[in-house]
């Protein structure tokens, strides 16, 4: 291979023929010329040698011994713009943000008023009933301690051990010296104490005789309080703290290194490195660490508990984040206290008049208190946890947000028939509780009917969206305008099933419910129908993976083991640092969210208890009534009796053989004869929006072409028929 050098090497002097130094050839390669032939005659051992190539690598050609193998480091001086940008980043603001920004200033002012009024109130309540009795109890002891301390001072008690030591050592000179010094001191201090006592007594008498009573009282209170404070036991302070002080300490690099050493994440000759300084981040510390080469984020995850122990904090205070820039770089957030045990507070939905379900809505906060917005657009959500951890409450907050958007159609089914979902009857298009039939109403059958109804609706939506004119539906997808157009009847829909395992394990309908739910979770979100499933049994028997896997978003509250956490969140979540088994019992409403957005992480969901839910749903029902979107069960419209055949099937069935044209009236009569319960005279059946928009070509007769159309569009017309009976008023 020939090498062409376009530019002379920088160190080589240009255009010079001057000999600056002698260049000696350094034979790296073995001489290519054949070795001199061995001398003729017999070859004895040790007299022969063969030349072996050093390497097979053709790139090694021309490589000199001792040359550096690292690529040359190219160092560019920063441009002025880069330099200024770096300076901009490093500069600290003259005034902190909370001073400059009016809303933050207001927040700080409100906080200060709230905080200090709470502190003052706390002590004001305790002053008469706790502090005063304590002062009165402790003050005699305080008086005794005070006079004892004065006595010790006057009689030079601190020199006593030295005088004893001189006696023990039989050092007469030293003893006499110390005794003389003591006598002098005692005399002087005695005089001072006597004068002070006289002054004190005179002041007391003066106060008693001359001072107004309020001053006398204040003086007595001050003296008694001082004596009470002096007399209080060291382990039981006189005044309670109005706030809890949390164990907060400075985190140093030594502590972080120690933690990695005890966690087995360092080796004998390699420790961790800190690519950036340790700093504060919210209510905690942010530490970025480069693990030794070969160690990974997954290793750090496995050592989570040992790392926390090495830092002397609770495991719930340590959070690990993957750093995408290197496999060995880990970012730690070390909270000052367990942030997950701090309740996130009431749901902001309580103060909301309405919600736009097309936009993300507040669902909770993360471990650092940053708001977490949720969205159910184009996805299905699986919620799983052990009982009593907040599974229902967290799912319900999402359904409450949906309820506050009057254009969202709600289906709510609760397998456990708990009181949690009952109030949704005010707004839900279809609703059912439990699995046991009651008063002639079978909730499982109702779920089945609703699922079939929804499946037909979803199939129909796909067709109708692709048939809508471009100016209405430019991308063939549901838009806010289409979803709110009552004539088009394609509202955003949320299908909620709590304790889904109860339905899936139903002996008679379990299999069909499963297959319908799988269909909906997989196909329906794309046309605006989202499924939210909650379960306390995410195992394969109670909630098969066939259904679980269709959920794009997952939310896992506390579970028993990391395997269960992976079952809810999806395989591989544990190695990404998501393990819901690490959550504690006290972490109510706290879970790990995955798949709702690009980021996964902790959500401390807002609380909306039963009473809050009722308030929100009353408002939601009023909103729906005003907008005219109250429908289905909430409006008292029961689902139409199910017919196995479609209208076109029935039309096809009533057309006689060889009939090419039949009057509409005749068909209507024949249909009434065929199914009196559906087409009978007393019943009013209206065409679906789709049918309304595309009337039959002949208004007076139905052509025989309908027969073949009936067969080919069977599934479509099923949905048309069902949506005709379910369209909102
Ligand atoms: N976000 C929250 N903040 C504070 N406490 C909460 C929160 N969510 C739930 N809780 C508390 O947890 C309790 C249990 O909640 P929830 O009924 O939702 O649990 P669950 O997992 O659905 O239980 P089960 O499976 O028994 O129905 C509630 O009564 C409430 O006190």
Q: What is the domain-level CATH number for residue 290?
A: 3.30.980
Q: Is the CB of 294 under 6 A from ligand 1?
A: no
Q: Is the CB of 395 under 6 A from ligand 1?
A: no
Same domain, 658 and 707: yes
Q: Is the CB of 390 under 6 A from ligand 1?
A: yes
Backbone region of residue 252 per phi and psi (left: phi > 0; alpha: psi in -120 to 50; beta: other values): beta
Q: Is the CB of 535 under 6 A from ligand 1?
A: no
Q: Is the CB of 589 under 6 A from ligand 1?
A: yes
Residue 603 lies in a domain: yes
| 297/295 Cα distance (integer angstroms) | 7
Q: Is the CB of 550 under 6 A from ligand 1?
A: no
Same domain, 307 and 402: no
- Is residue 425 classed exposed, middle or buried when 0-12, 13-18 and 19+ CB atoms within 10 A define those classes? middle
Same domain, 373 and 495: yes
Q: Is the CB of 347 under 6 A from ligand 1?
A: no
Question: Hey, CA dihedral for 468, 469, 471, 476, is it positive or negative?
Answer: positive
Helices (H), 155-171: 160-168
Residue 524 lies in a domain: yes
Interval between CA 621 and ligand 1 midpoint (Å): 24
According to the model, what pLDDT value does residue 676 have?
65
Same domain, 539 and 673: no
Q: Last residue of a domain, which of 635, 667, 698?
A: 635
Q: Which of 373, 372, 403, 608 is nearest to 493 (CA)?
A: 403
Which token pair is 499? Answer: 């304790």
Q: Last residue of a domain, which of 578, 611, 635?
A: 635
Same domain, 163 and 263: no
Interval between CA 153 and ligand 1 midpoint (Å): 63
Same domain, 604 and 505: yes
What element of type H or E holds 202?
helix 172-210
Residue 565 lies in a domain: yes
| Domain residue limits at 188 | 102-231
Position in ligand 1 atom list of the atom nearest CA 557? 21
Residue 182 lies in a domain: yes
Same domain, 560 and 705: no
Which residue has a Cα nearest atom 25 of ligand 1?
387
249 by DSSP, 3-state: which? coil
Residue 331 neighbours by CB under 8 Å, 6+ apart: 286, 287, 288, 289, 320, 321, 322, 323
Same domain, 267 and 412: no
Residue found by looking up tokens 């069935």 in the block: 653
By DSSP bridging, strand 279-280 and strand 701-703 are unpaired
Position in ligand 1 atom list of the atom nearest CA 393? 18
CATH code of the domain covering residue 530 = 3.40.50.300
* Phi, then psi, of 475 in degrees rounded to 5: -110, 10
Residue 349 lies in a domain: no
Q: Which of 633, 244, 228, 218 is nearest to 410 (CA)?
A: 633
DSSP string, 376-394: -TT--EEEE-STTSSHHHH
What element of type H or E holds 207?
helix 172-210
Residue 450 neighbours by CB under 8 Å, 6+ apart: 411, 413, 430, 432, 639
Residue 348 lies in a domain: no
- Is residue 279 classed exposed, middle or buried when 0-12, 13-18 and 19+ CB atoms within 10 A define those classes? exposed
Q: Is the CB of 605 under 6 A from ligand 1?
A: yes
Residue 612 lies in a domain: yes
What element of type H or E holds 591?
strand 590-594
Which token pair is 429? Answer: 């298009």
Position in ligand 1 atom list of the atom nearest CA 395? 18
Q: Is the CB of 501 under 6 A from ligand 1?
A: no
Same domain, 327 and 415: no
Instruction: To the nearest 10°, report the CA torsion of 111, 114, 119, 121.
Output: 170
Which residue has a Cα nearest atom 15 of ligand 1?
390
According to the model, what pLDDT value does residue 721 have?
32
Pocket test for ligand 1, best of 396, 584, 588, 603 (most atoms within 8 A of CB): 588
Q: Which of 439, 431, 392, 434 is nearest to 417 (CA)?
A: 434
Same domain, 430 and 568: yes
According to the model, what pLDDT value does residue 33 have?
41
Interval between CA 379 and ligand 1 midpoint (Å): 24
| Residue 137 CA to its chain's centroid (Å) | 51
What's the angle, vertex CA 443, arms to CA 437 and CA 445, rounded to 5? Answer: 100
ipTM of the complex in this document = 0.96
Binding residues: 385-392
| 456/721 Cα distance (integer angstroms) | 9
Which residue has a Cα nearest atom 24 of ligand 1?
387
Binding residues for ATP: 385-392
Number of domains in the chain: 4
CB 435 within 8 A of CB 629: no
What element of type H or E holds 329?
strand 329-335
Interval between CA 667 and ligand 1 midpoint (Å): 57
- Report residues of the chain scoring pLDDT below 50: 1-48, 50-60, 244-246, 683-729
Same domain, 379 and 441: yes
DSSP string, 596-640: SSS--EEEEEPB--HHHHHHHHHHHHHHHHHHT---GGGGT-PPP
Residue 27 lies in a domain: no
Same domain, 498 and 569: yes
Q: Between helices 172-210 and 213-231, what is the axis angle to 10°?
A: 150
Interval between CA 420 and ligand 1 midpoint (Å): 10
């Amino acid at each position: 291979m020939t090498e062409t050098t376009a530019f002379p090497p920088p160190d080589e002097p240009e255009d010079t023929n001057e000999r600056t130094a002698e260049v000696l050839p350094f034979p790296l390669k073995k001489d290519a010329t054949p070795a001199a032939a061995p001398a003729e005659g017999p070859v004895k051992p040790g007299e022969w040698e063969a030349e072996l190539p050093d390497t097979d690598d053709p790139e090694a050609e021309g490589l000199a011994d001792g040359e550096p193998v690292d690529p040359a480091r190219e160092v560019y001086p920063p441009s002025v713009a880069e330099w200024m940008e770096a300076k901009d980043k490093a500069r600290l603001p003259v005034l902190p943000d909370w001073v400059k920004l009016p809303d933050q200033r207001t927040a700080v002012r409100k906080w200060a008023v709230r905080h200090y009024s709470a502190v003052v109130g706390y002590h004001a309540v305790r002053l008469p009933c706790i502090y005063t009795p304590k002062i009165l109890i402790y003050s005699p002891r305080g008086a005794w301690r005070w006079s004892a301390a004065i006595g010790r001072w006057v009689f030079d008690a601190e020199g006593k051990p030295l005088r004893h030591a001189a006696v023990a050592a039989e050092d007469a000179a030293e003893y006499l010296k110390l005794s003389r010094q003591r006598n002098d001191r005692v005399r002087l201090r005695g005089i001072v104490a006597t004068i002070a006592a006289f002054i004190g007594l005179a002041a007391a008498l003066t106060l008693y005789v001359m001072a107004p009573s309020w001053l006398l009282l204040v003086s007595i209170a001050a003296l008694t309080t001082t004596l009470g404070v002096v007399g209080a036991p060291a382990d039981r302070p006189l005044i309670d703290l109005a706030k809890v002080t949390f164990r907060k300490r400075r985190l140093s690099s030594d502590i972080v290194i120690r933690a990695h050493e005890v966690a087995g994440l360092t080796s004998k000759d390699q420790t961790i490195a800190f690519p950036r300084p340790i700093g504060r981040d919210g209510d905690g510390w942010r530490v970025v660490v480069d693990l030794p080469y070969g160690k990974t984020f997954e290793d750090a995850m496995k050592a989570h508990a040992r790392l926390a122990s090495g830092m002397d904090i609770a495991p719930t205070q340590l959070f690990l984040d993957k750093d995408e820039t290197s496999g060995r770089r880990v970012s730690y957030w070390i909270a000052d206290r367990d942030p997950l045990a701090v309740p996130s507070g009431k749901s902001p939905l309580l103060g909301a008049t309405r919600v736009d379900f097309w936009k993300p809505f507040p669902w909770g906060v993360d471990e650092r208190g940053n708001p977490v917005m949720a969205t159910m657009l184009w996805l299905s959500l699986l919620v799983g946890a052990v009982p009593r951890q907040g599974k229902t409450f967290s799912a319900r907050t999402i359904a409450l947000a949906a309820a506050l958007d009057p254009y969202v159609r709600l289906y709510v089914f609760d397998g456990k028939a708990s009181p949690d979902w009952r109030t949704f009857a005010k707004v839900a298009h279809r609703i059912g509780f439990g699995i046991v039939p009651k008063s002639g109403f079978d909730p499982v059958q109702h779920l089945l009917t609703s699922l079939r109804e929804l499946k037909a609706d979803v199939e129909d939506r796909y067709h109708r969206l692709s048939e809508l004119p471009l100016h209405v539906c430019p991308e063939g997808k549901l838009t806010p305008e289409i979803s709110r157009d009552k004539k088009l009847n394609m509202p955003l829909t949320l299908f909620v099933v709590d304790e889904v395992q109860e339905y899936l394990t139903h002996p008679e309908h379990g299999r069909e419910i499963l297959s319908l739910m799988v269909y909906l979770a997989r196909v329906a979100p794309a046309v605006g129908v989202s499924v939210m499933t909650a379960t306390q049994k995410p195992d394969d028997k109670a909630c098969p993976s066939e259904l679980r896997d269709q959920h794009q978003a997952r939310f896992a509250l506390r579970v028993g083991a990391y395997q269960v956490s992976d079952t809810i969140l999806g395989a591989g979540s544990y190695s990404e640092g998501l393990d819901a088994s690490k959550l504690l019992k006290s972490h109510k409403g706290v879970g790990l969210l995955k798949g709702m957005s690009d980021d996964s992480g902790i959500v401390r969901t807002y609380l909306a208890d039963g009473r809050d839910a009722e308030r929100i749903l009353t408002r939601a029902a009023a909103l729906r009534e005003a907008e005219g979107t109250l429908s289905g069960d909430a409006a008292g419209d029961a689902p139409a009796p199910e017919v196995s055949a479609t209208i076109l099937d029935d039309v096809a069935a009533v057309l006689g053989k060889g009939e090419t044209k039949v009057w509409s009236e005749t068909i209507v009569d024949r249909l009434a004869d065929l199914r009196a319960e559906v087409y009978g005279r007393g019943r009013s059946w209206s065409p679906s929006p789709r049918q309304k928009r595309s009337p039959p070509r002949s208004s007076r007769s139905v052509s025989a072409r309908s027969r073949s159309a009936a067969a080919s569009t069977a599934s479509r017309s099923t949905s048309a028929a069902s949506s005709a009976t379910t369209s909102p008023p």
